[in-house]
Amino acid sequence: MDLLCMKWLEHFLKGRDTGIEKTAAVEYYTLGENQWKQAQAWPPEGTEEQIFYLDGDCDDTGVGTGREQGKGILSLECPGSSGQDSYQYDPDDPSTHIIDVSENELETPEDYTEEEKRRDILCFTTPAFERPVTITGDVTVKLFVSCDCPDTDLVVRITDVDENGRSVKLADGVLGCKYRNGFEKPEYMEVGKIYEVSVRTTKISNTFRSGHKMRLTITSSAKNFIFPNSNTELGFDSPEKRIANVTVHRGKEYPSSVCVRLEG
């Protein structure tokens, strides 16, 4: 237990004046920089939005081959031409959300390098950063999606890829497509239509060191974290299961993107 937590418990549970209420409204830790920081709001003052657009040399360039990750690109410029990347999600063969079983921890910086090679995972990666780049705040992933099933899940992850290609998770998010416009009422998808879906990740502060890359991965399952979506209107506990063909559209007409906040 860290000192900050001890001060909080001493003050609110034992009534001792530890000065905890005089500290900054927000305290956060920046990975890569290995430093605690303070701010008065979240996201911190002085951060600026930066959008990375999904791109690729051709259709389906972002799809894993089973032997290597997809070669999709995260670009600072919106592509002038359209493209798309498709994968099949089978509820009987879900991808794995890696956890530390010994500690029952979900939000750990696990290595997804091998998992990302699956054929039902899309990868989009920046070029190597020439200088350290720090992102702090929530990340919003905006995707334009079509599917041949009425529902499926979208699971997104942001990873830090080092010089050796090791891809370590920083943040993730999940959303059922039927709740893309809110949780009050499910809205099911129709074949042939393209829908805009925004997924917000867990909070993040990370410095990508020189030579490192930022990666977005997209899939529709997360074994150990969520129940496999049946891809039907009856959800995860449906007696019927369907294989979903999911397509992420990108380009000028459908600008799928990742919005981060740059610090400093």
Domains of the chain, each with CATH number or no CATH: 3-30 (no CATH), 48-262 (2.60.120.260)
**Distance separating alpha carbons of residues 210 and 158, to the nearest angstrom:** 17
Q: What is the pLDDT of residue 106?
A: 56
| Nearest one of 249, 202, 40, 6 to 105, comparing CA atoms | 202
pTM as predicted: 0.92
**Distance separating alpha carbons of residues 152 and 229, to the nearest angstrom:** 6
Residue with tokens 């039902």: 120
Are the C-beta atoms of residues 205 and 136 closer than 8 Å to each other?
yes
20-32: pLDDT as tens digits: 777 788 989 999 9
**Distance separating alpha carbons of residues 135 and 263, to the nearest angstrom:** 6
103-115: pLDDT as tens digits: 555 567 899 999 9
Containing H/E element for 258? strand 257-262
Lowest mean pLDDT among 11-15, 32-36, 139-143, 194-198: 11-15
Residue-level length of the chain: 264
198-244: pLDDT as tens digits: 999 999 999 999 999 999 999 999 999 999 999 999 988 899 999 99
Q: For Cα atoms 212, 60, 133, give the angle at the middle one, nearest 5 degrees.
A: 20
